């Protein structure tokens, strides 16, 4: 008898049908992945299983959900309260918002135990410490009194999992639990879930859009699209012989590491030249008016981007890649170094002197929802830079808008509408059209596809490649997703702790990574092939990067890039042993300590 059986489930939000006739089952101890893009109904399904969908304004219009012999669709709210967090637990995407920011972490977990197990006082405290230890949170006693903002993203997600597992549920629903995390942190969380599953025998319903993660963790896969089940099969069959066209399309769109980089353009004069660029931020001191230490966000970075070339900038969150991008465009102050755009130095110019040069380089941002002014029509939005620079008259705006829309593959009818009337991918096209309006030589794209579905992301990267081929545009393409970067970049720069640790032609960096950090990053990328799923092996610790926070006026240690191949440079490193070919690890030093523990029983879980 399956642990969870969903029969012919239909869900609706008002008149909008979110899910149509979905049936699937989860056996005890099994991991089922629910895969789909936005609007597929996968999160609505999770809400329905917890019967939280009514609170979000939706309703179950047909079908049945059974947990063993309990009919959840017929359960009363009081019954559901006993089931939620007790027999079915849930882990959310964003651990920062899913945790109460003003409540100590231990107290939040203790609350679950009090509600479902009736534990109080010392017994609850002990159980919380045990729960923290089970998810390999180092120093659980210390974490008990800490708050969510004091922990790294990976640790926060571990607290969420500890909370979910506190009552040893039969079923864990994980709704995109690693989407907001860095790849190395993701690898740690995935291996933790596998380990815990092997220990406790719980079933996992894993909701994700990432086929790489599916390949890592799932036993069976249910593919959803716009509320309909496209396919259901064991994970190996999904990847070997997908039946549905949609699954095949999803596979094709999923970026795969090692699927080849674009051919290098002819060498030319650099469009963007960055020499020894440094950006620091002052931190508050211990006393008011006392000079505080400085955070070195970008340290002594040099690189160049040629005409018609794309340089991919990869790094984990907080490594300084967005700061570097903004510093290149003088959107934030530069503390040392030189930036040249088409040969002209940008550093040292006043804001007014800088303004006319801004048309040479434009920017595309990560969040297409926030980067378009909600009050302007599309025609005004996308022609604004041209109007500012006087390259278009007020009368000519209409024609220019039409031309730009055509260029990015949107209809001219879009012109009179507002940004909120478009989908994420269409909005990103509008952002690109806006950047193109002044015919820039360089576009700095900061995580331009991170907020988009894989199939839409693919269309956007294809569009960027087409624009590059047509107009000889140069791109500085920033992403945390190394597989996406590979698809578009002629060269790759890997950033860690404010420094470029390795830079070189894409295929060289990926095939023969010279710096240990690059190797670690590559090893953590999930491979969309369940056959290559291996036991998680422990990886040696890296030398920690030099400290980023230094007393005011202190210069960071100067590090020099060494040539390791043709046009391929890396920081010299003292790390001795090369890394094993496949491994998962976490970035946080605290997480890393625990990794050896997490790693050992992982083979049994998969």
Partner 1 sequence: MTGFALARARPGLAFWRSLGAFHRVVLMLGAVLVLAAVLAPWLAQHGPTDQSLMSRLKPPLGFAGAKAGYLLGTDELGRDLLARCLYGLRLTLSLAFLGTLVGLAIGATLGLLAGVAGGRTEAAIMAAVDMQIAIPFTLVALFVLALFGSSFGVMILLLGVAGWEQYARIVAAETRRLMRMPFVEAARAAGATPRRIALVHLLPNLISPIVVQMTLSFSNIILLESSLSFLGLGVQPPTATLGAMVGVGRDYMPIAPWIVLAPSVLILAVTFVVQVLGDFARDRADVRLRAR
The residue ranges that bind partner 1 (CB under 8 A) are 326, 329, 331, 354-356, 358-359, 361-363, 365-367, 370-376, 384-385, 388-389, 418, 420-421, 431, 434, 438
CB 390 to partner 1: min, Å: 10
List of long-range contacts for 52-58, beta carbons under 8 Å, 24+ apart: 52/84, 53/11, 56/13, 57/13, 57/14, 58/11, 58/12, 58/13, 58/18
* Shortest distance, position 368 Cβ to partner 1, whole Å: 9
305 vs 570, which CB is nearer to partner 1? Answer: 305
Rank residues 431 and 599 by Cβ distance to partner 1 and give the closer one: 431
In angstroms, the CA 264 to CA 582 distance is 29
Which are the contacts of 406, defined by CB distance < 8 A and separation ≥ 6? 412
Cβ proximity of 250 and 35 under 8 Å: yes
Q: How far is the CB of 442 from partner 1 (least distance, A)?
A: 11
Tokens of 355: 């303004």
Burial of 520 (0-12, 13-18, 19+ CB in 10 A): buried
User: Closer CB to partner 1, residue 367 or residue 471?
Assistant: 367
Q: Report in angstroms how near the CB of residue 508 gets to partner 1 at its nearest.
A: 32
- Tell me the residue length of the chain: 606
Nearer to partner 1 by C-beta: 384 or 471? 384
List the strands of the sheet with 58-67, edge to edge. 16-26, 4-13, 58-67, 70-71
What is the nearest approach in angstroms of partner 1 to the Cβ of residue 429? 14
Best CA proximity match to 252, nearest among 528, 599, 584, 561 = 528
- Is the Cβ–Cβ distance between 456 and 435 less than 8 Å? no
Nearer to partner 1, 268 or 421 (CB): 421
Give, as one character, the DSSP assignment of residue 407: H
Please list the helix, strand and coil fractions of the chain in percent, rounded to the nearest 5, in that order.
40, 25, 40
Structure token digits, residue 471 = 């107009």
Query: Whose Cβ is closer to partner 1: residue 85's or residue 425's?
Result: 425
Report, in Å, the least distance between residue 76 CB and partner 1. 34
Using DSSP's 3-state secondary structure scheme, residue 146 falls into coil
C-beta of 382: minimal distance to partner 1 in Å? 11
Cα four-point dihedral sign 305, 307, 312, 313: positive
Closest to partner 1 by CB, 137 vs 430, is 430
Within 10 angstroms of residue 468's Cβ, the number of other Cβ atoms is 20
Query: What is the smallest separation between the CB atom of 467 and partner 1, expressed in angstroms?
Result: 18
Nearer Cβ to partner 1, position 146 or 391?
A: 391
Output the smallest distance, CB 384 to partner 1, in A: 6
Terminal-to-terminal C-alpha distance of the chain: 22
The answer to whether 294 and 550 have CB atoms below 8 angstroms apart is yes
Which residue, 217 or 451, has its beta carbon nearer to partner 1? 451
Give the shortest CB-471-to-partner 1 separation in angstroms.
Answer: 18
- 3-state class (DSSP) for residue 506: helix
Return the number of the residue (362 or 479) whose C-beta is nearest partner 1.
362
């Amino acid at each position: 008898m399956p642990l969870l059986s969903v029969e012919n489930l239909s869900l609706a939000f008002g008149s909008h049908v979110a899910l149509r006739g979905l049936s699937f089952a989860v056996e005890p101890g099994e991991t089922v992945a629910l895969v789909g893009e936005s609007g597929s109904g996968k999160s609505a399904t999770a809400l329905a299983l917890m019967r939280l969908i009514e609170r979000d304004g939706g309703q179950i219009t047909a079908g049945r959900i059974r947990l063993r012999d309990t009919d959840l669709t017929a359960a009363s709210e009081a019954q559901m309260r006993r089931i939620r967090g007790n027999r079915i637990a849930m882990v959310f995407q964003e651990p920062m918002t899913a945790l109460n920011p003003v409540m100590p972490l231990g107290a939040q977990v203790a609350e679950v135990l009090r509600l479902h197990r009736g534990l109080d006082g010392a017994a609850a405290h002990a159980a919380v410490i045990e729960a923290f230890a089970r998810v390999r949170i180092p120093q659980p006693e210390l974490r008990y009194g800490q708050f969510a903002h004091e922990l790294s993203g990976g640790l926060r997600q571990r607290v969420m999992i500890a909370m979910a597992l506190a009552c040893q549920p039969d079923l864990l629903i994980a709704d995109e639990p690693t989407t907001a995390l860095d790849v190395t942190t993701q690898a740690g969380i995935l291996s933790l879930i596998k380990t815990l599953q092997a220990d406790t025998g719980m079933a996992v319903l894993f909701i994700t859009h990432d086929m790489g993660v599916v390949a890592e963790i799932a036993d069976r896969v249910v593919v959803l699209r716009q509320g309909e089940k496209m396919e259901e099969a064991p994970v190996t069959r999904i990847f070997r012989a997908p039946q549905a066209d949609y699954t095949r399309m999803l596979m094709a769109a999923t970026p795969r590491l090692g699927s080849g980089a674009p051919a290098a353009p002819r060498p030319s004069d650099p469009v963007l030249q960055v020499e020894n660029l440094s950006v620091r931020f002052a931190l508050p001191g211990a006393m008011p008016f006392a000079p505080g230490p400085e955070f070195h966000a970008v340290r002594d970075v040099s690189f160049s981007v040629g005409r018609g070339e794309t340089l991919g900038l990869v790094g984990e969150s907080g490594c300084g890649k967005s700061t570097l991008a903004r510093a290149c465009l003088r959107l934030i102050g530069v503390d040392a170094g030189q930036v040249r755009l088409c040969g002209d130095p940008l550093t040292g110019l006043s804001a007014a002197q800088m303004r006319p040069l801004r048309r040479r380089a434009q920017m595309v941002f990560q969040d297409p929802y926030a980067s378009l002014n909600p009050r302007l029509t599309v025609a005004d939005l996308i022609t604004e830079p041209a109007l500012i620079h006087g390259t278009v008259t007020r009368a000519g705006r209409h024609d220019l808008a039409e031309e730009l829309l055509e260029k990015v593959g949107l209809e001219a009818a879009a012109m009179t509408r507002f940004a909120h009337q478009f989908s994420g991918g269409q909005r990103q096209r509008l952002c690109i059209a806006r950047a193109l309006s002044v015919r820039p030589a360089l576009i700095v794209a900061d995580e331009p596809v991170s907020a988009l579905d894989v199939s839409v992301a693919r269309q956007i990267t294809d569009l960027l490649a087409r624009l590059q081929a047509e107009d000889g545009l140069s791109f500085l393409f920033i992403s945390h997703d190394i597989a996406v970067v590979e698809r578009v970049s002629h060269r790759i720069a890997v950033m860690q702790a404010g420094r470029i640790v390795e830079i070189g032609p894409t295929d060289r960096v990926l095939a023969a990574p010279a710096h240990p950090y690059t190797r670690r990053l590559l090893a953590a990328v999930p491979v969309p092939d369940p056959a290559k799923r291996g036991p998680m092996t422990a990886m040696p610790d890296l030398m920690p990067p030099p400290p980023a926070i230094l007393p005011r006026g202190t210069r960071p240690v100067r590090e020099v890039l060494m040539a390791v191949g043709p046009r391929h440079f890396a920081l010299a490193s003292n790390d001795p042993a090369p890394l094993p070919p496949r491994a998962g690890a976490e970035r946080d030093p605290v997480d890393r300590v625990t990794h050896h523990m997490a790693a050992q029983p992982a083979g049994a879980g998969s």
